[in-house]
Amino acid sequence: MNEWTTQAGYARLAELAPHPTLSTLLRRIMRQEGRHIDFYAHEASKRLDAHITARHATRVALQRFWAPVGAGVMPAAEVGFLGRYLFGDEAGEAALARIDRQIDRLPD
């Protein structure tokens, strides 16, 4: 989830704050995030598919403990602002819906 949300955040930032240098940097970072996503999604599918206990523990952990990257070290107001800035419009909601669909494809 962290990789998916981070990549989506970078994509939204590139859309909302277009700047040639920033856009180039964000595209590079997003490519790297894509490699991480491929690895983690493959491992998650394999491991969740093999163990019902892992599926249950993961579901509970995501529901109770997951938070966006950096939320534990940044003030809540800043995390909220960033979430609203990146995902508070129709395009942002669509990006989050894509993440939901990716999660839905994992074994449950």
Q: Which distant-in-sequence residues (6+ apart) come within 8 Å of 55 by Cβ?
A: 48, 107, 108
pLDDT of residue 80: 95
pLDDT tens-place string over residues 34-89: 999 999 999 999 999 999 999 999 999 999 999 998 999 999 999 999 999 999 99
pLDDT of residue 108: 81
Domain total in the chain: 1
Structural domain boundaries, residue 17:
2-104
* pTM of full prediction above 0.75: yes
pLDDT of residue 73: 96
**Per-residue H/E/C for 9-61:** HHHHHHHHCCCHHHHHHHHHHHHHHHHHHHHHHHHHHHHHHHCHHHHHHHHHH
What is the pLDDT confidence band of residue 18, given thresholds at 50, 70 and 90? confident
